[in-house]
Structure 1
Amino acid sequence: MKVVFHASAGPDLAGRLFRLPGLDVSVCREDDTDALFRLLPNCDVLWHVLQRCTAEMIAAAPGLKLIQKIGVGVNTIDLEAAKQRGIPVCNLPGTNARAVAELALGLMLSVLRRIASFDRGLRAGTWTDVAMQDGLGELGGRTVGLVGFGAIPRILAPILAAMGCRVIYTARTRVDDPVAAYRTLDQLLVEADVVSLHLPLVPETEHVIDAEALGRMKPGAILINTGRGGLVDPAALVAALSSGRIAGAGLDVFETEPLPAGDPVLLLPNVVVTPHVGWLTTGTFDRSFLLAAENCRRVASGDPLLNRVI
């Protein structure tokens, strides 16, 4: 079965892909459109990562039997085009949960302790900057609000509690949790010292954190987003960070990706940014490839697919 892995792969990752039994995997960089359209006509399965899967791509693959998201969010796939062709789309919920949870925790600590600023200063020859010591905070003793309560925040909640945090959450479905207490979104924004976003991007959640929501957050609170960039109104966030309405932000995802050079958020000293790599660990890939390969086997045998979206 011919599989196109539409993402860059270093030597270690490529080796893992090429060793998958029963699969003929071709690696195609996200920016190599010519190579992609050479591979698609003979492609049986597309393993989609972050670069958009368009109707044009789907049309160029007459033998396509499956679009497999290596990850969770399918907002970057033209689902209607896949549906019209009768091509199933599957995702891999939970495979990246630990990786994203750990980066979310890392961003919380990085913003509170200004790790990126100290790193830049030391590389520039400044051993210490007394002014930067103002406002340095600890995570322990703070209230952390988790917006969404799926696999990622459920990993985070007990870790945060063990560090001495008070944990609250909001979600469509209220659950009994041993460490996290339920709040409405409005209540969470008012109470939390740290607001961490863990929602899918759907019409109902687009810009759920807008100027009004940022205005309800506690003065001095920080925002963490490892979910989707479109959950946050970027102009409103820049305004809140610039004015000091909120103290800082840790962002792994952005409304426009790749983030353009010179974007206003990059000019703010109270922001820590990473380029949508929360999911990116060898552990995530090992778990993902195991399930993605199983779905390839199921496509070939006609068995029901795992985690089918459409």
Structure 2
Amino acid sequence: MPTTLITTPTFARHSTRPWQILEEAGAGPLRPSGDVALSPGELLKYAPEADALIVGMDAITAEVMDAAPRLRVIAKHGVGVDTIDVGAARARGIPVVCAPGSNSHAVAEYTFGLLLSAARSLAASHVAVAAGGWPKLFGPQLRGKTLGIVGFGRIGRLLAGYAHAFGMELLAHDPYVPQAGIRAHGAEPAALDTLLARADAVSLHTPPDPSGTPLLDRARLAAMKQGAILVNAARGGLVDEHALADLLGSGHLGAAALDAFSTEPLPADHPLREAPRTLLTSHMAACTPEANQAMGAMVADDVVRVLAGNEPLHQAR
């Protein structure tokens, strides 16, 4: 009987259906730790038992694949597969599947919440009031401001709709989306550097560069509009986090709201912990029961399809 090794603690947390899909197909789900992701060492320890992997943010390298001689499919419990060496999997004949669109609404809603919270200092006000204070914290209204969206896929387009409803002007940068497609969603196409110079707020929705080079390095962060807000609910590798902390400290940037970081959990000595006007959350934009159920069912279905000798429906390219 095949075994499905599940490394992510959020798999099927809010639905029994994904478990049922695996169990009914005889795919022997194995979840060696319940509430935390496997460490790299634990992953290598359990990999030889796996015919299928369902993973979260784990680094699935060629080393992991070579430690799993029975491995027939890798499933990302989510959308982005940048933590999986898709090329190495392809070379070994192992399909990589994911759950496109399953968490788009959850992430887009959360992203707009981060933007609104950062603009109006909601978290800072809560902390002050809970401690006995009663501050009147001023922040810009969003109506009439310009939002720059970097990456105009499903999530970026949904975010554009929410921002438009708040009366924001929209810029979008995505070299893979035709300009007509950007305009169709009410946004003006823009080169990245133009967008950064013009936008009052910037939201990132694109995968990181495989080389590890931040999309927003120190120079690009410094080129952002004075007082601009940065929102990142995509990937931590997109931003030079030390430079971001410096520019928040100097007052050049107005605020930052981040749900993704280069190292997770965030290290105790990370400079963003002490940076002013910063809202930090624990990579939880996709954490809704609805998205969790959809992601789990989609990847479980594809795992079962591959183990049965069929083509997956949602193969990553």
Tell me the amino acid that sits aligned with residue 52 of structure 1: A
Equivalent residue of 2:60, what SS?
A: coil
Q: CA deviation at 1:252?
A: 0.7
Structure 2 unpaired stretches of 5+: none
- After TM superposition, the structure 1 stretch with the greater mean CA deviation from structure 2, 221-230 or 30-39, is 30-39
Q: Residue 148 and residue 80 in structure 1: after superposition, are their counterparts in 2 closer, same or farther (change >3 A)?
A: closer
Tell me the amino acid that sits aligned with residue 149 of structure 1: F
In structure 2, C-alpha distance between the alignment counterparts of 1:100 and 1:220, rounded to whole Å: 25
2:31 is matched with 27
The partner residue of 1:304 within 301, 304, 311 is 311
Equivalent residue of 2:31, what SS?
A: strand
2:158 is matched with 155
Task: State the TM-score, normalizing by the size of structure 2.
Answer: 0.88
Q: CA deviation at 1:269?
A: 2.8
1:139 is matched with 142
2:8 is matched with 7
2:220 is matched with 213
Tell me the amino acid that sits aligned with residue 171 of structure 1: D
In structure 2, C-alpha distance between the alignment counterparts of 1:10 and 1:296, rounded to whole Å: 14
Equivalent residue of 1:28, what SS?
A: coil
Q: Deviation string for 1:251-271 (max 9, x for gaps)?
A: 011112221012110112311
1:18 is matched with 19
1:228 is matched with 235
- Residue identity (%): 36
1:279 is matched with 286
Contact 1:17 1:25 in 2 (8 A): no
In structure 1, C-alpha distance between the alignment counterparts of 2:85 and 2:212, rounded to whole Å: 19
1:78 is matched with 85
- Aligned pairs for 1:60-99 (under 5 A) are 60-99=67-106
Q: CA deviation at 1:36?
A: 4.4
In structure 2, C-alpha distance between the alignment counterparts of 1:195 and 1:266, rounded to whole Å: 21
Contact 1:28 1:36 in 2 (8 A): no
Tell me the amino acid that sits aligned with residue 139 of structure 2: L
1:129 is matched with 135
In structure 1, C-alpha distance between the alignment counterparts of 2:310 and 2:202, rounded to whole Å: 42
In structure 1, C-alpha distance between the alignment counterparts of 2:266 and 2:30, rounded to whole Å: 27
The partner residue of 2:266 within 226, 243, 259 is 259
Contact 2:199 2:225 in 1 (8 A): yes
Contact 1:104 1:226 in 2 (8 A): yes
Structure 1 unpaired stretches of 5+: none
In structure 2, C-alpha distance between the alignment counterparts of 1:294 and 1:277, rounded to whole Å: 24
- Aligned pairs for 1:281-296 (under 5 A) are 281-296=288-303
In structure 1, C-alpha distance between the alignment counterparts of 2:53 and 2:273, rounded to whole Å: 34
Task: State the TM-score, normalizing by the size of structure 1.
Answer: 0.90
Tell me the amino acid that sits aligned with residue 27 of structure 1: R
Contact 1:14 1:27 in 2 (8 A): no
Q: CA deviation at 1:9?
A: 4.2
Tell me the amino acid that sits aligned with residue 150 of structure 1: G
In structure 1, C-alpha distance between the alignment counterparts of 2:275 and 2:222, rounded to whole Å: 19
**Structure of higher RCO (CA pairs closer than 8 Å, 6+ residues apart):** 2
1:101 is matched with 108
Q: CA deviation at 1:35?
A: 5.9
Q: Deviation string for 1:76-120 (max 9, x for gaps)?
A: 123344234321112222111111111110110111111111111
Q: Residue 196 and residue 204 in structure 1: after superposition, are their counterparts in 2 closer, same or farther (change >3 A)?
A: farther
Equivalent residue of 2:106, what SS?
A: helix
The partner residue of 1:183 within 174, 190, 202 is 190
Equivalent residue of 1:260, what SS?
A: coil
Equivalent residue of 1:291, what SS?
A: helix
Q: Deviation string for 1:160-213 (max 9, x for gaps)?
A: 111111111111032232421211112211211110011111248831212221
- After TM superposition, the structure 1 stretch with the greater mean CA deviation from structure 2, 280-289 or 5-14, is 5-14
- After TM superposition, the structure 1 stretch with the greater mean CA deviation from structure 2, 88-97 or 65-74, is 88-97
Tell me the amino acid that sits aligned with residue 215 of structure 2: V
In structure 1, C-alpha distance between the alignment counterparts of 2:215 and 2:61, rounded to whole Å: 26
